[in-house]
Chains A and B, each alone.
Chain A
Amino acid sequence: MKRLLLAAGWLVLACQAQAQISTAYAQVLTATSQPVMARDGPDAANFRGSLVFLNYCVTCHGPMADGKGRAAKLYTPPPANLRESDKNAAYMRLIIRGGGKAMARSEYMPPWGEELTEEQIGDVIAYLQSVNTRRK
């Protein structure tokens, strides 16, 4: 009888351990099926866009995208505060691709269509929309 009780106790412990392992395994599967940054999701586009912005746009529009870049002092009117922009994605794509002059805006905004790919332009628009305070 004593042996029977001991065997039953071991069986209960083994089942509990197996259950814990199964739960942990299920959690790992759930976590890895949804990576922190999806490869082609909006977060990834925002991240890629931030890199484009910080490399090309930051000189005029500033690291905060508020129009206070180090070159802003050269221009009147000053570079646009992109955090408060009311322009939609289609307008942004046009002015980034063709430059300010093509859109009857500042001639000092360069045309980026020859330098940036369409994907980079899309990414930087996604980033600008993600930091836009009007959209929140």
Chain B
Amino acid sequence: MRTFVPSAALLALLLALPAQAAEHVVSQKAKNFSIKRLAVQQGDSVKFINDDPFAHNVFSLSDVKSFDLGSYGQGLAKSVVMDKPGTVEVECAVHPDMKLMIEVKK
């Protein structure tokens, strides 16, 4: 009993805490996103790493999340938080064929 009470209290505390937001990493290489589709939870962040020897750009015009992370060169990374549920289409302004669909789940 002496050990049960602290364990129960710890469990209750863990359940009460909000879920930790995850970070998803997407590479930009050979003028492509490393994946075409990504499922994340609301509140998660997506980190875009430029693994090409030239600049990339990441932007979205989706109603759920519209943003432009600007242009950045090799080895650099930028992140964006997916704070609303829905579908976010991500593009690269420099390379129009690059597309990534992110499904943000509630």
Contact = CB atoms under 8 A, between A and B. Distances in A.
B61 A71 contact: yes
A115 B94 contact: yes
Contact of A74 (B55, B67, B96): B67
Interface band, chain B: 10 to 19
Interface string A108-135: 1011101100000000000000000000
A60 to B, nearest CB: 7
Interface of A: 55-56, 59-60, 70-71, 73-75, 99, 107-108, 110-112, 114-115
B66 interface: yes
Contact of A71 (B55, B70, B93, B94): B93
Contact of A70 (B61, B67, B94): B61
A110 B96 contact: no
Main secondary structure on A side of the interface with B: loop
A82 to B, nearest CB: 16
Main secondary structure on B side of the interface with A: strand
Given A71-B68, A99-B71, A110 B59 contact: no
B96 A55 contact: yes
A42 B66 CA distance: 39
Contacts of B79: none
A107 B72 CA distance: 11
B64 to A, nearest CB: 14
Contacts of B67: 74
Which 3 pairs show the lowest CB-CB distances between chains A and B?
A114-B54, A110-B71, A110-B94
Contacts of A74: 59, 61, 66-68
B10 to A, nearest CB: 46
B70 A107 contact: yes
9 contacts: A56-B94, A56-B96, A70-B61, A74-B67, A75-B68, A99-B71, A107-B70, A108-B68, A114-B54
